[in-house]
Structure 1
Amino acid sequence: MHLRDALLASLANLPGSREFHLHVLVSSPRKHSNLYPFASQPRLRTYLQDILILLSEQASPDARRLFVSAIEASVYHIPSTSSAIVYVSKVDSTGQATTPSPTSTLARAFLSYYANPSTRPLPVDHLWVHLFARAQNQYLFPNSAEFPGKKPLTDVKLCAWWKRQLTGVAEELELNAKANATGTVSTRLYYLLPGLGELEASHSLENAYASSSSSSVTWIYGHPYSQTDVPLPGVSNRNTGSAAPHIGQIIPWFDDDPKARFIDDIAYTTEVDGVKSPERKRPRIIERSGSRVVDEEMQDKPKVVDKKDVHSQKEEQTTKVLRKVSVSEFWERMSFRQECISGAVTGFFVMAVSSNFPQATTRSEPSPLAPQPGQVAPQLIKRVLSSLMTGHEFPSVERAAWSTKVLEESIRGLCDGLKTLPVAIASGNVAGSGRTTPEPTLTCATTPQTPPPRLIRLKHPIVDASPNPFPEPMTSLETYNAYIHGSLIVNNPWLPRKTPVEGGDDGKVKVTVLTVRRKKRAKP
């Protein structure tokens, strides 16, 4: 089952009557060496895929189609350790969906697709899910926070929401493991709210969503980088040697991630008191007929330094600095980072899934770089994402309907071989709004982005010298209809309305007013 079909199947059970239109863009694998930029030689070969999921909804056949949910994620494949990492970078909604919103169902189905060994498209034994929960009004839909119907989650509720999604995925894996007797599946779940203790974090998330149902899933408050139950994806026997791995070898480096920024700061801090100036060199003294003469030319002449030696010294210095910071100290100091002390609660969530299926070892697997059916070129996803973030807005139903129509037509046109996006994207002309004057391109506030690692200091700059032997996939309308776009008509009963526990004849809740009894004063 492909990702599009799995997501559509999960949406079929949503209550109500509506029609969904789903666009799933998965890029072909490409070489990526920045997942562990500070790892020692030889570095692990990693392959990266970009994923963009856009879901639109149509409340009735006559209603306009509106974008309601979106997911942006990355998948890292490390064949040498039989591991893969799914990093969920952004999940957003417009607030214009029919209640209940499909965002939770879509996010949980996406994670289950990669966590479940029976549907996972990668031949790996260990899968890791990483995400950083940080509450914001909007992520992927510009100006959607201005829509009155959108209710962004607060910081604590967002962390509790992600914990519920991962708990649901783990419960589903347990049920599938019991039904499937050919292999074993074990899960480990970790979460950490910087600045909060275990008891305080647990009570905060439990109070955010009161639930009467109990779960058998066990959560560990802390980080997963000291456990030995599930092998870490960036550590193998060939690249660790006799020394224990440092934080640069076990903590992955993601874009727009506080962990990546903190690792960079640690790696490039060579002196405790700041940058140290180089020592002044002594001039060269030459003896001529009994007199000592200072060689000014040699003093001014720059010394030829081997670049390999310089890179080697800087890499050794970087490794020494990283080894000075233990994993526990790293997370303790993370509580004092700007992203974690800005007044809002943030959370790091990790789920590790380890599976063992004997039949997986007997089948022959294709090359990790070989594009699979339905995958698109990475540049196509970048163009669609750039158009979504800079050329559209969702503050009202009218603007959202126009943006949905133009962007969906753009995806179809790009898959059909168009080299440029439709002119309507740049014109800003909304159908039915009476506007004819072209508008400037809309922009939105961007979140802080993690700068690329400063690889010039490393001994071996991370460069993918060998070209990709496989050409980029060519999309067509057949690919678009078979793998990218899909629709689903849902016609289920609506959820029953919540009735008050105790009510009167008018259906209103009875309110009991308690009166305060005054204590009588004793007579003198």
Structure 2
Amino acid sequence: MLHRKCARICNIVPCGIVIYHTLVSGSLDSHASRSMNLRDALLQGLADLPGTRQFHLHVLVSSPRKHSNLYPFATPRPKTFLQDILVLLSEQPTDSSRVFVSAIEASLYHVPSTSSAVLYISKVDSTGQGKPPSPTPSLVRALVTYYVDPTTRPLPVAHLWVHLFARAQNQYLFPNSSEFPGKRPLTDVALCAWWKRQLSAVANEVVARHEAMRIRLFYVLPGLGELEAAHALDRVSTSASASATRSVPWSYGHPYSQTEVPLPIGRDEHIGDVIPWFDDDPKARFLDEIAYTTDAEGVRSPERKRPRTSRTAQRGDPDAEGSCIPKTEQTSRALGKVSIEEFWERMSFRQECIAGAVTGFFVMVTSCPTPGRPGLYSALAPLPGQVSSQMVKRVLSSLMTGHEFPTAERAVWSTRVLEEAIKGLCDGLKIVQSGGDAQSPVGTPEREEKVALPETPRADKRRQAEDVSPKVEPIARVETYDSYIYGMVSVSNPEEPRKGASGGDGTGAITVLTARRKKRGAC
């Protein structure tokens, strides 16, 4: 007997045949889940949404590339590999054109030496132009679950860390979407509570599937004590969501002192070895200030080398007169003076954390006894469906600089142009920057001459040699677009009562309350 909630996923295969897959909740076996790619996992996560709706999904995952800045102050730096993730979801009403409703930008770091991976969710945004309820929560949970669950995780690692920084803003990935009247961003405290609910739901679901999984949840709201933080989040949480978080408990504080799951590059009290460095993250900026800045003199230059005054003076010895201290050792010594506890205590006084709004750091620490997918694995060899990092950056740059979503008409136009550009990049088209008026697309597809370019390797023919970097990044083809990038799901489920406006749609914003002035009465 089939579950009442089902959906149809439609994929266009290279031969042009339309295939309909019926996804039933809980019907996937372990073999099917191991072969599932990220696009299919996200489509399955949308299948339980209420109502009759149609979603169109574009998923871009770059091939691995060498990256040395995850722990820039560690000595020696660990060998790390980075992948970019961009998810764009559009919804098509029955009587209108489809429009973007949600987007996620994330980064996946792989540290093979410790069998660890780090998933950093940098931005989540929505336009507010979809049918309620918003698909953003389901999309976020499906993305995190895909990498946390060892049966679907594409990396053969035993430990996975999920990091995010919650900061309320009117918009992140959809320019001018805050001007659309239907977008109701969450307030600062509500956004932190929202993220706590999403990670709790993922942790509870994965633990229910795999009893041997170890999952720890940590959060810190800088400037608030544990009781203050718990009280603030409980005020904006419903009773149902509050009870759901009791399965996997939360710990208030940082995760770098726990002993259940090894750190990605080992265990050390040096903050440069335990705190990861992410782009546009307050922790990264604070690490830079500690490493390169003195008390009140601004950024300092490396000390000039002076001639040795004694034959016994050794390079790098701080007590030897006239010694030459290398720059890496200078930064290491500066970071070594700050303990982990002091780092987080001082973080509460950072401008980004006390600028009038509540912010939050959330970390999910997971460990499983067996790695993800078995078999040979090359950290640098691209997997089927992965694209070049330049393609991901190109699409993201076009979204952020060439499109806007203040009205339904502009949003529909931007959605159509950008979706056509993604397909065009997979069909041998090049994007030419146009210098027309504001209504002209930033990226106008223009067909270029077909040349023999390397394709994304098939699973049975990809290179398996460890640390062998491909000479040319993979080129997405039409087959890549149809099988891994684009997907569509039609949802037909019972409608749910529409909730109030306080639920928000998954993005944060600061709500400013103004006092109403009393009218003066006649004398």
Give me the TM-score of the superposition, normalised by structure 1. Answer: 0.77
Give the counterpart of 1:35 among 63, 70, 85: 70
What's 1:241 paired with?
none
- Counterpart of 2:261, as a letter, is V
- Output the CA distance in 2 between the equivalents of 1:147 and 1:263: 37
- Counterpart of 1:370, as a letter, is A
Matched, 1:323 2:336: yes
Q: Provide closer, same or farther for how the CA distance between residues 8 and 440 of structure 1 changes in structure 2, counting only shifts above 3 A.
A: closer
**Structure 1 contact 192–222 (Cα < 8 Å) conserved:** yes
Matched, 1:81 2:114: yes
State the identity as a percent: 64
Give the counterpart of 1:163 among 180, 196, 212: 196
* Post-superposition CA distance 1:187-229 (Å, at most 9, x none): 0000000000000000111111222361312000000011111
What's 1:401 paired with?
412
- Output the CA distance in 1 between the equivalents of 2:411 and 2:87: 17
What's 2:428 paired with?
417
What's 2:286 paired with?
262
What's 1:49 paired with?
83
* Post-superposition CA distance 1:404-463 (Å, at most 9, x none): 00000000001112122586x96543xxxxxxxx5999xxxxxxxxxxxxxxxxxxxxxx
- Output the CA distance in 1 between the equivalents of 2:196 and 2:416: 34
1:469-508 matched pairs, under 5 angstroms: 469-496=470-497
* Post-superposition CA distance 1:273-293 (Å, at most 9, x none): 6678989999xxxxxxxxxxx
**Structure 2 contact 128–182 (Cα < 8 Å) conserved:** yes
**Structure 1 contact 21–486 (Cα < 8 Å) conserved:** yes
Q: Provide closer, same or farther for how the CA distance between residues 194 and 113 of structure 1 changes in structure 2, counting only shifts above 3 A.
A: same
What's 1:225 paired with?
256
Question: What CA RMSD, in Å, does the superposition of the two structures yield over aligned residues?
Answer: 2.8
- Output the CA distance in 1 between the equivalents of 2:148 and 2:418: 30
The alpha-carbon deviation at position 367 of structure 1 amounts to 1.0
Residue 481 of structure 1 aligns to a residue whose secondary structure is helix
What's 1:187 paired with?
215
The alpha-carbon deviation at position 479 of structure 1 amounts to 0.8
- Output the CA distance in 1 between the equivalents of 2:406 and 2:112: 44
* Post-superposition CA distance 1:458-508 (Å, at most 9, x none): xxxxxxxx9833531121111101100000111111014689xxxxxxxxx
* Post-superposition CA distance 1:144-190 (Å, at most 9, x none): 00000000100000000000000000010111014xxxxx2110000
Matched, 1:351 2:364: yes
What's 2:458 paired with?
none
Give the counterpart of 2:173 among 125, 133, 140: 140
Q: Provide closer, same or farther for how the CA distance between residues 165 and 497 of structure 1 changes in structure 2, counting only shifts above 3 A.
A: closer
Q: Provide closer, same or farther for how the CA distance between residues 228 and 12 of structure 1 changes in structure 2, counting only shifts above 3 A.
A: same
- Output the CA distance in 2 between the equivalents of 1:426 and 1:114: 42
- Output the CA distance in 2 between the equivalents of 1:197 and 1:186: 26
- Counterpart of 1:193, as a letter, is L
* Post-superposition CA distance 1:257-306 (Å, at most 9, x none): 00000000001135676678989999xxxxxxxxxxxxxxxxxxxxxx99
Q: Provide closer, same or farther for how the CA distance between residues 95 and 279 of structure 1 changes in structure 2, counting only shifts above 3 A.
A: closer
1:1-12 matched pairs, under 5 angstroms: 1-12=36-47
What's 1:65 paired with?
98
What's 2:510 paired with?
none
The alpha-carbon deviation at position 365 of structure 1 amounts to 2.0
Q: Provide closer, same or farther for how the CA distance between residues 281 and 384 of structure 1 changes in structure 2, counting only shifts above 3 A.
A: closer
Give me the TM-score of the superposition, normalised by structure 2. Answer: 0.77
Residue 212 of structure 1 aligns to a residue whose secondary structure is helix
- Output the CA distance in 1 between the equivalents of 2:497 and 2:97: 26
The alpha-carbon deviation at position 366 of structure 1 amounts to 2.0
Q: Provide closer, same or farther for how the CA distance between residues 206 and 326 of structure 1 changes in structure 2, counting only shifts above 3 A.
A: same
- Counterpart of 1:416, as a letter, is D
**Structure 2 contact 380–468 (Cα < 8 Å) conserved:** no
- Counterpart of 2:367, as a letter, is S
The alpha-carbon deviation at position 364 of structure 1 amounts to 3.0
- Counterpart of 2:280, as a letter, is D
- Counterpart of 1:126, as a letter, is H
Q: Provide closer, same or farther for how the CA distance between residues 412 and 212 of structure 1 changes in structure 2, counting only shifts above 3 A.
A: closer
Q: Provide closer, same or farther for how the CA distance between residues 66 and 481 of structure 1 changes in structure 2, counting only shifts above 3 A.
A: same
- Output the CA distance in 2 between the equivalents of 1:310 and 1:396: 64
**Structure 1 contact 247–326 (Cα < 8 Å) conserved:** yes
- Which runs of no fewer than 5 residues in structure 2 stay unpaired? 1-35, 308-314, 317-321, 444-466, 501-523
What's 2:402 paired with?
391
**Structure 1 contact 19–490 (Cα < 8 Å) conserved:** yes
Matched, 1:116 2:149: yes
The alpha-carbon deviation at position 359 of structure 1 amounts to 8.9
Residue 343 of structure 1 aligns to a residue whose secondary structure is coil
Q: Provide closer, same or farther for how the CA distance between residues 276 and 414 of structure 1 changes in structure 2, counting only shifts above 3 A.
A: closer
- Counterpart of 2:496, as a letter, is L
- Counterpart of 2:255, as a letter, is P
What's 2:270 paired with?
246
Residue 420 of structure 1 aligns to a residue whose secondary structure is strand
- Which runs of no fewer than 5 residues in structure 1 stay unpaired? 179-183, 237-243, 283-304, 430-437, 442-465, 500-524
**Structure 1 contact 391–426 (Cα < 8 Å) conserved:** no
What's 1:206 paired with?
234
Q: Provide closer, same or farther for how the CA distance between residues 246 and 17 of structure 1 changes in structure 2, counting only shifts above 3 A.
A: same
- Counterpart of 2:57, as a letter, is L
* Post-superposition CA distance 1:308-328 (Å, at most 9, x none): x99852222211111110000
- Output the CA distance in 2 between the equivalents of 1:111 and 1:280: 49
Q: Provide closer, same or farther for how the CA distance between residues 145 and 273 of structure 1 changes in structure 2, counting only shifts above 3 A.
A: closer
Q: Provide closer, same or farther for how the CA distance between residues 311 and 7 of structure 1 changes in structure 2, counting only shifts above 3 A.
A: farther
Higher Rg of the two aligned structures: 1
Q: Provide closer, same or farther for how the CA distance between residues 21 and 199 of structure 1 changes in structure 2, counting only shifts above 3 A.
A: same
Matched, 1:341 2:354: yes
- Output the CA distance in 2 between the equivalents of 1:311 and 1:333: 31
- Output the CA distance in 1 between the equivalents of 2:251 and 2:491: 38
Give the paired residue count: 427
Residue 165 of structure 2 aligns to a residue whose secondary structure is strand
- Counterpart of 1:391, as a letter, is G
What's 2:519 paired with?
none
Residue 40 of structure 2 aligns to a residue whose secondary structure is helix
Q: Provide closer, same or farther for how the CA distance between residues 80 and 166 of structure 1 changes in structure 2, counting only shifts above 3 A.
A: same
- Output the CA distance in 2 between the equivalents of 1:35 and 1:312: 24
**Structure 2 contact 54–93 (Cα < 8 Å) conserved:** yes
- Output the CA distance in 1 between the equivalents of 2:125 and 2:240: 27
- Output the CA distance in 1 between the equivalents of 2:392 and 2:408: 25
- Counterpart of 2:58, as a letter, is H
**Structure 1 contact 235–245 (Cα < 8 Å) conserved:** no
**Structure 2 contact 151–372 (Cα < 8 Å) conserved:** no
**Structure 2 contact 426–477 (Cα < 8 Å) conserved:** yes
Residue 49 of structure 2 aligns to a residue whose secondary structure is coil
What's 2:319 paired with?
none
- Output the CA distance in 1 between the equivalents of 2:37 and 2:305: 65
- Output the CA distance in 1 between the equivalents of 2:58 and 2:324: 46
Q: Choose 10-19 or 205-214, whichever is displaced more.
A: 205-214
